[in-house]
Amino acid sequence: MSSMGSLAFDEYGRPFIIIRDQDSKSRLTGIEAQKSHILAAKTVANTLRTSLGPNGLDKMLLSPDGEVTVTNDGATILDKMDVDHQIAKLMVQLAKSQDDEIGDGTTGVVVLAGALLEKAEQLLDRGVHPIRIADGYDMAARIATRRLDEIADAYDVSPDNLEPLIQTAMTTLGSKIISRFQRKMAEIAVNAIMAVADLERRDVDFELIKVDSKVGGKLEDTMLVKGVVVDKDFSHPQMPKEVKDAKIAILTCPFEPPKPKTTHKLDIKSVEDYKKLREYEKKKFTEMVEQVKATGANLAICQWGFDDEANHLLLQRELPAVRWVGGPEIELIAIATGGRIVPRFSELTADKLGKAGIVREIDFGTTRDKMLVIEDCHNSRAVTIFIRGGNKMIVEETKRSLHDALCVIRNLVKSGNIVYGGGASEIACSLAVSQQAEWVSTIEQYAMHAFAEALESIPMALAENSGLHPIRTVADVKSRQLKENNSRLGIDCMGNGTNDMKEQHVFETLIGKKQQINLASQLVRMILKIDDIRAPGGY
């Protein structure tokens, strides 16, 4: 069987994988099936390999309706790729579980799984049973995670010493489109997390961080707002553009007269009846506005709309208002300002009002787009990261990049241990696994050596993507780690002249690195244990 796989594109430009000769055989069994699976997984891993590290390249993905995504994020690439093979789908899920659990390191985990399978293929060719390979990998993964614990540096998260947090966030952002403003974006991410973090419980509530964006402007115009940004403006153009010391009534009841809630018809047979109805409506409107004003509120935020008459009345009574504010925003405003959401006018009291230092309307460029910024809130724990960018693709990629950075900092707040990046921790684990394998007398030692070699695929890819000689560079760093007994030495991707990742401030979270090794080895063990695919219509 010619076990070649190739990457092809459909008419929409979506990549998919063709495994040759597979359609001609209704069923593959035994070693043939395993090789076919390994090939599919390797093809996926090789697609992502070039995206690894600070010099990794981006991928452009086209959706069926022609929408373009440019991204460096492993989970996004796999999610949008049209994967046609069962094992390749498992790789997609692998990246997703790393993304859900850790939020970063999605490319690395897929590249590692691909390398482990590639090494397993060589052992299968030499007649080693897949179960023995899986057991050897299991032993090696335990040694590797133990080694990570040994080389990790503890870091105590405190508001006075944010530098290590910023450096770790910068490492995450180094491989992204926004690396030109690495420092600024890292500081935004760290300040956002520290604003909402509960350091006593070591917990971060992601619900309190809202990421909003507006196309236009420069990337460096991205800002962190200690409060909420709402994509709405004041309901009347003559209302003030700024309200200081805002006392906000948050209403989910419509600003309109009560309607009969029945199917009955209301007939108006004379002009007097019509006038009476109109007077009644006006009286009700005035009552509603007065009820809001009586509580001391100087701003109304309404979930529903109101008509022009109500709008004019609000302007006359000098009560600025915002209409059609969505449910999630209403909740966030209530949390941020310490207010209560009021479902009926009769229930509105002064203690239910939200408080904010300033509510202002901002407009953008020449487009007349307007947004509302609610700052200096009573409960300053709710924050908004407001992203600007030249086009939709950059804004979306910035969102994904900042999500990774936010997740990494959250993980550090939860368990503040860091290991060194740039492939340093992988090389240290690889050396530890190799040394331990010498003491194993059974056939598993071959699998352990294979695991050690596979771990080197990460520094290898980093060197390759940085234009260095991969084999020579990795061999050099390995021998130096052994000689100097220094597990901080990694690949100098940026040409800073030192291989010590502590000096280069390249950090990764211990929890993320351990998860990568564990997830990749679990998936590979699962794939190795499959020796048959039965499709519908097969025999």
User: Domains plus CATH for the chain?
Assistant: 5-154+419-528 (1.10.560.10), 227-379 (3.50.7.10)
What sign does the CA torsion over 485, 489, 490, 495 have? negative
Task: Give the pair of three-digit tokens for residue 539.
Answer: 């025999």
- Residue numbers annotated as active site: 73, 106-107, 404
Task: Give the pair of three-digit tokens for residue 341.
Answer: 């959401």
Rounded Cα distance, 487 and 481, in Å: 6
Cβ neighbours of residue 379 closer than 8 Å, sequence gap 6 or more: 335, 336, 337, 338
- Note down pLDDT in tens along the chain; length 539 residues: 444 567 777 777 777 776 655 444 445 667 888 888 888 888 889 989 999 888 888 999 988 888 888 888 888 998 888 887 888 888 899 999 998 888 888 999 999 999 999 999 999 989 889 999 999 999 999 999 999 999 998 877 777 788 888 888 888 888 888 878 888 999 999 999 998 888 888 888 888 898 988 888 888 888 898 888 888 888 888 888 888 888 999 988 887 776 666 667 777 888 888 888 888 888 888 888 888 888 888 889 998 888 787 888 888 888 898 988 888 889 888 888 888 998 888 888 888 888 888 888 888 777 778 888 888 877 667 889 999 988 888 899 899 899 989 998 888 888 878 899 889 999 999 999 999 988 888 899 999 999 999 999 999 999 999 989 999 999 999 999 999 988 889 998 887 888 888 888 888 889 999 999 999 999 999 998 888 777 675 54
CB atoms within 10 A of CB 371: 17
Pick from 152, 139, 149: which is nearest to 452 by CA?
139
Q: What are phi and psi of 510, to 5 degrees?
A: -60, -45
Q: How far apart are the first and last CA of the chain?
A: 20
Quick one: DSSP state of residue 304?
S
> Which pTM value belongs to this model?
0.82
Residue 417: strand, helix, or coil:
strand
Cβ neighbours of residue 167 closer than 8 Å, sequence gap 6 or more: 186, 505, 506, 507
> Do 468 and 460 contact (CB within 8 A), yes or no?
no
Residue 515: strand, helix, or coil:
helix
